[in-house]
Copies of this chain bind each other. A is one copy, B any other.
Amino acid sequence: MSAPKVQLLLTGNELMTGDIVDSNSAMMAQVLKDIGLGINRKVTVADDLALLVSEITYMASTSDILIINGGLGPTVDDLTAQALALAIEEELSQHPQALTHLTNWCQQRGAELNGPNLKQAILPKNCQIIANKNGSAVGFSVRYNQCDIYCTPGVPHELETMLIEQIIPAISADLPSELITDVTRLQIFGLGESSLQKIINEQLPQWPTTIDLGFRAGMPLLEVKLTTNTKKGLALKSIWQKKLANVLGDHLIAEIQEKPKSLAEHLLIQLQQHNLKVTTAESCTGGLIASKLTKVSGSSTNFEAGFVTYSNEMKTAMLDVPSDLLEQYGAVSEQVVVAMARGSLVKSAADITIAVSGIAGPNGGTEEKPVGTVWLAWGSINNIKTQCLLLPYKRVKFQEFVAAIGLDLLRRYQQNITSIPNYIIERSFTEQ
């Protein structure tokens, strides 16, 4: 028995106008691949009832599984339920389970259940509800013409939770048992996609064809996925995974079990284990590192304060950076960033710190210190390390990278890793 044919139907005017780039279908492809399924065909249309009805009718007749994404919202241009009802010749009616969900959703938020919201409970009769933890729109599914049709919300995190927790388990329960799939995902920081591909080509040229290697460039972590669909691949996997881990060295952050963790989470877990507190002294990242740490729930155990010292005066006022250092060396200098690090440790009584001062651009660069220059200082009061980097990114991406590198340097410090990360080898900068 062969794998079922899967098709996707995406709906939304915003997908047709180029206002947004569709990332949902790539995500759906990734999670379907985890259970050994590929997507056969994908159609995207605007919010147009006649077009939707004809697409659904045709796609349901040429696939085993049809996933419809988008068009579940409360506004008049959300047409999925109506189109599906017409396509499968079923009436629309108020679904009690969907109504309960909407009522609870509004109640929890102290909001009135209004007409537009109520529309989200009007669904094809006899459909199965797919719960939505994260939004007002429930998903729903019907079986029609030997095709399982799943209707899902367009909001990415609502879709993702629904897929992983409900749709994928439902689909895989129906899969023929001889289909096997084994997926391992690795989190990497400090190696780009093309560097990594080159390293693998050179150092692991015999990589077995039965283990599919996929890359997913995230910001800032890169994800590498080893997928195998054969017994032979499964047998070979652990040895090749070990070889790959060897080659990655300290750039390998973790093997992802369930939900991938951020750099800040990895760091906070270590700090928790050692009962240590961290602080931040930020100039060019303007609070981004502190904000990444405090996104993590429970971070208050290991983070008490952060200093956003954007101007020279405030570096002195908040962190006691001597003003003569600022005058003599400038704000973007080893001397100042070390003083910021020291000041933040003294003022916060934290155990370790990360201090950054750089030129995010687009203005403010000079010949000696061009846009993209950043000084970092990190460590504990008796052991402060420093590094200057030149990062070839525009403002927002520059800030994201400095924040990520800052967190990674603390992770390495905390784990006593002495090898030099790739981003220092590649981006190390000596002022002109």
Contact = CB atoms under 8 A, between A and B. Distances in A.
What is the interface of chain A mostly: helix, strand, loop, or mixed?
Answer: mixed
A115 B198 contact: yes
Which of A15, A198, A314 has the largest number of chain B CB atoms within 10 A?
A314
A214 interface: yes
Interface string A265-282: 000000000000000101
A197 interface: yes
B20 A216 contact: yes
A220 to B, nearest CB: 14
A194 B116 contact: yes
A290 B308 contact: yes
Given A75-B193, A215-B77, A285-B291, A41 B33 contact: no
B294 A305 contact: no
A361 interface: yes
A257 interface: no
B307 A348 contact: no
B22 A22 contact: yes
Contacts of A305: 307-311, 314, 317-318
Contacts of A293: 286
Nearest to A18: B29
Given A41-B51, A51-B41, A214-B14, A347 B317 contact: yes
A286 to B, nearest CB: 2
Interface of A: 13-23, 25-30, 33, 38-46, 51, 73-77, 108-111, 114-117, 136, 155, 193-195, 197-198, 201, 213-217, 225, 280, 282, 284-291, 293-295, 297-300, 303-311, 313-314, 317-318, 347-348, 360-363, 390, 392, 395-396, 399, 426-427
